Structures are given as structure tokens and as C-alpha cells.
């Protein structure tokens, strides 16, 4: 190892800095330090209030020895850190939270610190030495103790079952900034180092870590397990798990061992995840043109674990996201597991091998894994049409990103406490959607080659968003850095206004805001465009543009034009009146793919909600889908009927009944085809669609559906084992009972309440709680809401009652919330209550009456469409 010393000036703060380039030993990856300010002040206080650790010293290797005690819920440890001092200083600064450090044990190059100062808010420990530390490498060591957490962070103690009894396990939850709760470290992603771990545990327990076991020493009831040294990685990827487990094993084509660990007796349930895991590693090896970096990959199912963590070589996933019960044949569950596994294993390259430099670029890791997991699952199971599920997430994120409270994908962070909050849909789904848009525009092969180059260039290192765009630009020759920067640094996205003028298409972009407000961001937009006779793609670089695009008229004289082929672009499209008028004809003629139908429907709905489109146009488009047989599209039609019904409740109360009848007639045909009873061999998609359609018709007030639901409920009430209502048709029956309930005739309500009390199935009880406040009688609604203050409703299920509030009950529900706020908070934690209010109650007040009331032709349109049906 050689050192090149240099000096310069840091433009950000004007300090003189010194630094060093550490040259790589051939074949051994090394972290590359950045230029670092020299620290000249002489007090530990200089490090207080800083977001990041100083860079005058770099950890290169950790030796860690842990002894967890699962009974007392404590652990002790010893850490030795190889630290390379790059600039003159007498201080070393580490991240430490909630650990007890043995001050007498702290040594660096046989030097003892004269100062050991903790800044709790900054989560750091500052070690001050009597004199300046010599440049070069030395070993910092210390002993420490901690408590096994019960808060899903740091070193956590969890519960599981072994031989019919409750037992304890321990596992780490370090991402994003919780390794510091387990051992003193430089707990930032660009402080990459190698790690060598040792675990001292009871001899009957299994000890797992990132690397394979190097050796074990058993001494009576204790065994010491030594693990191999890891490659360079960030602290948040270090992992340990201790407990009693069993496993199943597979091997990739390159010889990498893949295991799925479970509670004893559940290993067979991990077979599907194991198969997907083996396939994923093989696919990613080829896709990124870089072999998996570790000799093994373990996945373990953790009971009651709400997340999944991509720890290098030891992925921890909640049991529900990893294990497939042998009795379950639903493709929905298989899809969930496949996407989970493929996501976490994609991280082994994107996140673990190549890591974001700082957490503001977390999207670099999460968007890759989200997009890549769908690419992988589509390759393994093309019959699932997994990109349709991806599109559903994109549609939801488009709505989220069109609100004033949205934020850029690259989020500025001011304190480490803010980092947990940036793991949201915008990071995961918008980021992945932008990649999907880019792949579609560049072509799959060019995109793959560029990503492979990116991974190879930054392997065992760190990258920023700009680094990705530069590599793709170099590989493809496209000016992507300037093109893509607004997509990650600005909130929101554009709506493209399209006008047909003879042999030209006139385009204009503007930022789309769901509330109708105006912002002035500008994007370079990858446009894909097609009609019945031609296809085109180009980049819209300006606010306005005119494109030569000839489209032949069809036999009926119509010309249809579709922007955003297969909805791969992250933008909305607003057509002029001429094109909008032709869309229903093209829909009826089946000119569009399932994805395009979903995009057209969602665009029409959201543009109507934001006053950009007439509700009459939306109704024409929905009417054109009245014979729709695509089971992927029908759920979106159901969603639109619910939204339209809600909009017209405020805007046109005199027309609301006719609009409901129109929507009922549109949904009735597919509902009658499916019926109430499941068929043998029916896929999961149909099972869920039946529930969606029946519930939609009950909500719209379809008498025949409501009467059938009531009849079937009474049969079930008399015989709980009856097959008259399948699990997925029961919600419609429960809602039917609430449609009949009133203060004058409580029988339906009382029967449903009694049925709830008699049930033992927790899932079914929650289904009933979710409809008890769905009533047009306000006294019944209040009675149901007040149930959360009784023993009849467990505290953890109280939110289910709030979820069922309808638009008719919004005013009384809002008054009830205000009057009972303190009582409610004793039942429901505020962190859970606020999202429920925002998601379930506030939208009931968001009417579009201003836009709808200004439509003079709406009544005529409704009556014309009703007459046609």
C-alpha cells in the first residue's frame, strides 16, 4: 500500500484539506477516500451538530466478537478497527448509540484517549488523544455492552416457536443507520470496510452471518463460531442471526450455495423462495456481467418481521414474504414471494456491491431492486404479466407525485433521524418507473449493457445519481445526464397536451398538479407515439414542439392516436377534443393493450378530478369498456365507478342517481358472468375480481346484488360451515346487510354484530369490522365508531372500523373524530391514526363540484348513454 499526499481547498467551507489516495493491492478491492478537510480546532465540540462524520480517518477492516444472551436480552462485544489516518488530527470520531463503552479498554496504537465525549443527538463518540495521531494505519479497539432491542433496530431479540413452546432468537436490523446501536463504527454507506465476525452462543443454537462459517469451537454449553472475512461493504449490510433453525439448500449454475432458513418444521414452505433465489442469482450474474460476490447466500424467514433487509449474503425477510404454505395455490402469494426474493437479491449487486454514497441517493439502490425484481419475475413467470402489477404501482405513485406535498426522488437530508422517512413510494416506485421509461426508450439490450458497465465500474465502491447517468450516456451516446436530472431532482412530472393538425402532432408540456395549481418545471420527456398506421419515438426537449406524424384514417373515418405506448412513460397525456372523441371507438375496437387501457382510464379519471377534462368524456370512455372482458382492466373500471359516484354526490346530487344506474349497467355484465360462486380451477385473479365487482355493485346500490347478499348471509349465519359464501364474496354480503340496516329496523345490523361475536377467525372478524360504519343511517354509524372504546373491538383492529366510512357519513365521522380525539389516541397510536384519516376520511371531502357543475352537457350525456344501454 502506498500513499500519495496532496493539499487543496474545500470550496464548501474554505478549509485547507489534506488527503490520500490508497492504491488498490492487485485483486483486492479498496475503498477510495475523498479529499478531506484538515481538523485544526482542538475541542471535541467541533464535531457537534454535524450531519456527517469527518473524513480525516477511514476504517478499512473490523474484527468483531459478540456474545448475545437471549435470556437476559443483553450482549457484550469487542471491536478492533483498522483505521487509516489521512490528515493531521488528535481525534477519532465514531457513531455510537445506546451502548456502554468500557473506557479503560479503548486503545489506538497503544495510545489511550484523554477525552471520551458522547454527543447523544449526533449519535457520535469523540475520542481525543493527548497529541496528534501519526498518519497511516493503526488499530482502534474497545469493549462494549448493549441491550437486545425490542424496537426492530440494532441487535433485536425476537420470538418464535420451537417444539410447541415460545423461544427467543436474535437478529440484526441495521438499515439504514442502526449498526451504531450494535457496535462502535463509522456508520455511513461510503465508509466501506471488510468485516470478520465471531459469535459466542449456546452450543444448541445456529449462528449465521454474512459469510460462511470458518470454524467452530465447542466448550460445554457454549460454542464460538468464527466466520470468514467479508469483502468491502457498508456497515448497514452487516448481519447476524442466532436461534434454532432448519434449512433447505440449492446451488446456482456457478456453484453458489443458496439456503432458506426457517423455524423448525417450516423448511418445506421455503422451497418456492429457494427456487426463485437460485434463478435470481443466475439471472443477475448474466445481466450485470459480474459474478455474485460472496460464496453463499442465505435467506431466513423471521416471524412478525414487517420488512425485508438485503444484508450482504444473509437476507432477512418476514415469514409472510418468504414462506409459501403447502396448501396455498394462489398466484398472488407466489407473486408476492417471488418479487420479494428477487428484490432483495437484486440488492446484492445494486446496493451492496455498488452502494449509494449517501442516503439522499437511496433511490439508486431501491429503484434498481424494484425495477430489476419485476424484470426477473417476468422472465421466470411470463404468464403472470407482472408488469401489469408494476403499472398499478406506477398509477398510484403518479397520483401521489401530483400533490403539493410531493418531494424529489433525491431527498435532501438534514439529520440522520430523517433517513427512515425517505423510504417511500416515490423512492421505490417512481424511481423504478423512471428506469422502466428509460429502458423502453433506449431498448432493452442497450440499457442492460449500460447497467452492467455501471456495476463493473463502481463495484465495491460508492456512486451518486450523476455517476449512473454518465455511464449510461457513455455507453449509449445519448445525452442522458441533462435529460434525467430533472426527473430525480424535481418533484412531480409533466402532462403532455396533444393536438392533431393534419400531418403534424402539436405537443405542449406542463407540470401536472392534481389540485389544478400551476408550477413551471420543465422536463426532457422520452415520448413514444403510435396510431393505427405508424409508430414514433423522440425526446420532447422544449415546452412546445411540432412533430411530423402521418396517420391514415380508418374505414370508419376516425383517426386515433396514442401517446405513451404500454404506459412505460412517467407522465400523463391530455388529448384535444378530436383525439379524445376517437378514443371510445378505438377502445371498442380493441386497438389498445391491457396496459394502455388502464392508462387511458386512469388519465381520463385524474384529468377529470383536476378540472382538466370533462366528466362527460370520462363517462364515454368508461361506457366504451362496457363489454370489457380483460380481468386485468376490470378492477380499474370498478375504481372509476367508485370515484365518479363520489364526485357526483357533491357536484350533481340531482343527477347522482342516474349516474349510479349508468355505472351499475356497465358493471353488471361481467359480474353476472362471474356470479357469486367460485368455479373449479379458477385463478386467483378471478377470485379477487369477483369480490371487487360484487362490492362495487353493492356500494352503488344495486338491489338484486344486495338482496342476494342478504339471502346468502342468512344461510351462512345458520350454518357457519356452509359454502354459500366463499371468503372472497363475504365482504359483499356483509355490506349488503349494512345497506339494509337502519335505526327503525336494526335486525340486519344486530345479526351482523352477533355473527362477528360468534366468529373465531380473526381475518373474518376484521372483514366485518371494515363494513360496520358503511351505513346510510348516522345513528348506526356513530354506534359502530364508538365500538372501538369497548372490549368488542381489540385496539389493534380499531382502524378497521374507520376504514369503512362512506361519503354520506363523512361529516358525522369528522365531528366524532374531533369530539373524541383524546379517547381515540388511547386506543390508536397517533402514528397509525393520521395515515388512516388521510387515506380514508379526508378524500371524502375532496369533491370536484366546481369542475362538474360547469359541464352543461353532462346530463345529456348521462341520459344518452343510459338509453343506449
Residues tagged active-site: 344
Task: Tell me phi and psi for residue 104, to 5 degrees.
Answer: -65, -20
Give dist(CA 689, CA 683) in Å, integer: 10
Give dist(CA 65, CA 242) in Å, integer: 14
Q: Specify the residue for cell string 424529489.
A: 408
- Start-to-end CA distance of the chain, whole Å, equals 81
The gap from C-alpha 453 to its chain's centroid, in whole angstroms, comes to: 26
CA 636 vs CA 94, 641, 728: distances in Å: 52, 9, 18
Task: Tell me phi and psi for residue 282, to 5 degrees.
Answer: -65, -45
Torsion of CA 312, 314, 319, 321, to 10 degrees: 30
SS3 303: coil
Q: 115: which 3 cell numbers?
A: 477525552
Query: Where does 675-797 have alpha helices with state H?
Result: 684-700, 703-718, 730-740, 747-758, 762-769, 778-785
Residues 609-644 as b or e (16 or more Cβ within 10 Å = b) = bbebbbbbbbbbbbbbbbebebbbbbbbbbbbbebb
Reference 33, options 22, 46, 41; nearest CA is: 22
In the beta sheet, which residues pair with residue 196?
63
Residues 297-310 as b or e (16 or more Cβ within 10 Å = b) = bbbbbbeebeebbb
Give dist(CA 377, CA 385) in Å, integer: 9
Q: Concatenated DSSP letters for 261-290? A: EESTT-GGGGHHHHHHHHHHHHHHHHHTTS
Task: Tell me phi and psi for residue 157, to 5 degrees.
Answer: -100, 125
Residues 810-848 as b or e (16 or more Cβ within 10 Å = b) = bebbbebbeebeeebeebbeeeebeebeeeebeebeebb
Q: Concatenated DSSP letters for 531-591? A: ESS-EEEEEE-SSEEEEE------TTS---EEESGGG-SSSEEEE-HHHHHHHHHHHHTT-
Q: Summarize the chain as % helix, strand, coil (round to 5).
A: 45, 25, 35
Give dist(CA 565, CA 561) in Å, integer: 10
Give dist(CA 354, CA 459) in Å, integer: 5
Give dist(CA 49, CA 416) in Å, integer: 11
CB 524 within 8 Å of CB 511: no
Reference 805, options 814, 796, 797; nearest CA is: 814
CB 350 within 8 Å of CB 455: yes
Q: Specify the residue for cell string 460472496.
A: 294
Give dist(CA 125, CA 648) in Å, integer: 60
Q: 768: which 3 cell numbers?
A: 366485518
CB 783 within 8 Å of CB 747: no
Reference 293, options 33, 29, 26, 22; nearest CA is: 29
* Cα Rg, the chain, nearest whole Å: 30
Amino acid at each position: 500500500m502506498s500513499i500519495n499526499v496532496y493539499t487543496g481547498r474545500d470550496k464548501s467551507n474554505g478549509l485547507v484539506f489534506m488527503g490520500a489516495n490508497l492504491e488498490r493491492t492487485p485483486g483486492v478491492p479498496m475503498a477510495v477516500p475523498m479529499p478531506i478537510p484538515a481538523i485544526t480546532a482542538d475541542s471535541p465540540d467541533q464535531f457537534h451538530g454535524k450531519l456527517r462524520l469527518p473524513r480525516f480517518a477511514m476504517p478499512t477492516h473490523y474484527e468483531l466478537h459478540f456474545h448475545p444472551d437471549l435470556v437476559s436480552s443483553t450482549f457484550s462485544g469487542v471491536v478492533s478497527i483498522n483505521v487509516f489516518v489521512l490528515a493531521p488530527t488528535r481525534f477519532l470520531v465514531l457513531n455510537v448509540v445506546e451502548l456502554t463503552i468500557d473506557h479503560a479498554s479503548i486503545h489506538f496504537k497503544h495510545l489511550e484517549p484523554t477525552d471520551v465525549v458522547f454527543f447523544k443527538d449526533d449519535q457520535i463518540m469523540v475520542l481525543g488523544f493527548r497529541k496528534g495521531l501519526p498518519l497511516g494505519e493503526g488499530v482502534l479497539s474497545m469493549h462494549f455492552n448493549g441491550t437486545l432491542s425490542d424496537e426492530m433496530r440494532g441487535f433485536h431479540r425476537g420470538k418464535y416457536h420451537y417444539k410447541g413452546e415460545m423461544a427467543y432468537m436474535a437478529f440484526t436490523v441495521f438499515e439504514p443507520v442502526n449498526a451504531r446501536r450494535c457496535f462502535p463504527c463509522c456508520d455511513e454507506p461510503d465508509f466501506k470496510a471488510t468485516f470478520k465476525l465471531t459469535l459466542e452462543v449456546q452450543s444448541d443454537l445456529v449462528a449465521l452471518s454474512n459469510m460462511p462459517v470458518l470454524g467452530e469451537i465447542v466448550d460445554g454449553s457454549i460454542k464460538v463460531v468464527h466466520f470468514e472475512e467479508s469483502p468491502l461493504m457498508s456497515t448497514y449490510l452487516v448481519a447476524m442471526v442466532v436461534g434454532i433453525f432448519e434449512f433447505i439448500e440449492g446451488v446456482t449454475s456457478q456453484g453458489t450455495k443458496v439456503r432458506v432458513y426457517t423455524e423448525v418444521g417450516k423448511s418445506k414452505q421455503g422451497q418456492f423462495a429457494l427456487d426463485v433465489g437460485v434463478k435470481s442469482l443466475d439471472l443477475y450474474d448474466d445481466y450485470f456481467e459480474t459474478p455474485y460476490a460472496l460464496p453463499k447466500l442465505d435467506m431466513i424467514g423471521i416471524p412478525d418481521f414487517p420488512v425485508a433487509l438485503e444484508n450482504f449474503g444473509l437476507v432477512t425477510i418476514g415469514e409472510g414474504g418468504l414462506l409459501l404454505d403447502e396448501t396455498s395455490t394462489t398466484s398472488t402469494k407466489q407473486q408476492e414471494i417471488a418479487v420479494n426474493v428477487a428484490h432483495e437479491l437484486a440488492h446484492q449487486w445494486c446496493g451492496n456491491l455498488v452502494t449509494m454514497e449517501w442516503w439522499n441517493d437511496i433511490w439508486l439502490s431501491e429503484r434498481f431492486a424494484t425495477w430489476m425484481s419485476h424484470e426477473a419475475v417476468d422472465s421466470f413467470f411470463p404468464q403472470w404479466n407482472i408488469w401489469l402489477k408494476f403499472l398499478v404501482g406506477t398509477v398510484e405513485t403518479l397520483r401521489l407525485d401530483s400533490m403539493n406535498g410531493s418531494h424529489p426522488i433525491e431527498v435532501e437530508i438534514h439529520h440522520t433521524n430523517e433517513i427512515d422517512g425517505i423510504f417511500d413510494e416515490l423512492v421505490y416506485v417512481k424511481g423504478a418507473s423512471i428506469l422502466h421509461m428509460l429502458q423502453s426508450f433506449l431498448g432493452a439490450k442497450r440499457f442492460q449493457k449500460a447497467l452492467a458497465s455501471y456495476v463493473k465500474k463502481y463495484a465495491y465502491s460508492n456512486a451518486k445519481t450523476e455517476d449512473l447517468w454518465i455511464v449510461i450516456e457513455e455507453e449509449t451516446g445519448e445525452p442522458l445526464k441533462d435529460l434525467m436530472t430533472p426527473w430525480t431532482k424535481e418533484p412531480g412530472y409533466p402532462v403532455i397536451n396533444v393536438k392533431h393538425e393534419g400531418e403534424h402532432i402539436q405537443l405542449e408540456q406542463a407540470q401536472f398538479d392534481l389540485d389544478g395549481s400551476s408550477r413551471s418545471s420543465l422536463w426532457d420527456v422520452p415520448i413514444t407515439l403510435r396510431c393505427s398506421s405508424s409508430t414514433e419515438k423522440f425526446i420532447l426537449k422544449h415546452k412546445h414542439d411540432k412533430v411530423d406524424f402521418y396517420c391514415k384514417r380508418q374505414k370508419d373515418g376516425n383517426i386515433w392516436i396514442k401517446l405513451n405506448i404500454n404506459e412505460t412513460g412517467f407522465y400523463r397525456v391530455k388529448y384535444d377534443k378530436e383525439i379524445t372523441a376517437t378514443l371510445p371507438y378505438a377502445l371498442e375496437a380493441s386497438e389498445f393493450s391491457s396496459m394502455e387501457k388502464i392508462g387511458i382510464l386512469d388519465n381520463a379519471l385524474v384529468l377529470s378530478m383536476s378540472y382538466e377534462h370533462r366528466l362527460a368524456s370520462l363517462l364515454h370512455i368508461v361506457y366504451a369498456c362496457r363489454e370489457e372482458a380483460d380481468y386485468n382492466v376490470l378492477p380499474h373500471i370498478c375504481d372509476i365507478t367508485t370515484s365518479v359516484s363520489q364526485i357526483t354526490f357533491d357536484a350533481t346530487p340531482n343527477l347522482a342517481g342516474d349516474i349510479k344506474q349508468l355505472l351499475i349497467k356497465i358493471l353488471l355484465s361481467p359480474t353476472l358472468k362471474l356470479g357469486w360462486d367460485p368455479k373449479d380451477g379458477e385463478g386467483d385473479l378471478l377470485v379477487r375480481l369477483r369480490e371487487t365487482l360484487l362490492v362495487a355493485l353493492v356500494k352503488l346500490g344495486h338491489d338484486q346484488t344486495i338482496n342476494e347478499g342478504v339471502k346468502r348471509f342468512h344461510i351462512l349465519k345458520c350454518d357457519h360451515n356452509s359454502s354459500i359464501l366463499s371468503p372472497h364474496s363475504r365482504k359483499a354480503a356483509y355490506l349488503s346487510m349494512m345497506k339494509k340496516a337502519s335505526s327503525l329496523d336494526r335486525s340486519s345490523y344486530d345479526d351482523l354484530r352477533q355473527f362477528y361475536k360468534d366468529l373465531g377467525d380473526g381475518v373474518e372478524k376484521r372483514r366485518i369490522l371494515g363494513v360496520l360504519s358503511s351505513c346510510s343511517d348516522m345513528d348506526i354509524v356513530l354506534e359502530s365508531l364508538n365500538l372501538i372504546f369497548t372490549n368488542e373491538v381489540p385496539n389493534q383492529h380499531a382502524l378497521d372500523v374507520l376504514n369503512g366510512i362512506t361519503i354520506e357519513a363523512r361529516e358525522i365521522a369528522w365531528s366524532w373524530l374531533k369530539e373524541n380525539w383524546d379517547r381515540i389516541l388511547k386506543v390508536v397510536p397517533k402514528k397509525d391514526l393520521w395515515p388512516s384519516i388521510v387515506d380514508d376520511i379526508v378524500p371524502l371531502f375532496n369533491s370536484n363540484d366546481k369542475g362538474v357543475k360547469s359541464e352543461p352537457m353532462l346530463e345529456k350525456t348521462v341520459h344518452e348513454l343510459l338509453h343506449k344501454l
